[in-house]
Amino acid sequence: GPARQQLLRAHDHGPGTRVGLRARGPGLHDGLRRAAAHQLRALRSLHVRHVRDAVDRLLPRRDGGHHRRLGPRHAGG
């Protein structure tokens, strides 16, 4: 579909960008992604939990202790 073509077009910036990426080191990112995928997943859950605890400490609980992301309701202050 058109979305897929858009994605492909977005990734294909021409030879110049590819050279830049290659100069940065192609194996680095792939190796990281392959080696630490499960670690990143665990880290992400830990991070979310930590952030939620911090937010709970900073903000007064308005909705009976339910964890909610900050939305338009809280934006007004």
How confident is the model over 35-71, as pLDDT tens digits? 566 666 766 676 677 777 877 778 776 665 555 566 6
Give the list of residues 6+ apart from residue 52 with CB closer than 8 angstroms, or none. Answer: 67
User: What does the alpha-carbon distance between residue 73 and residue 24 come to, in Å, rounded to a whole number?
Assistant: 43
Q: Report the b/e string of 15-52 with b at 16+ CB within 10 A.
A: eeeeeeeeeeeeeeeeeeeeeeeeeeeeeeeeeeeeee
**pTM of the full structure:** 0.21
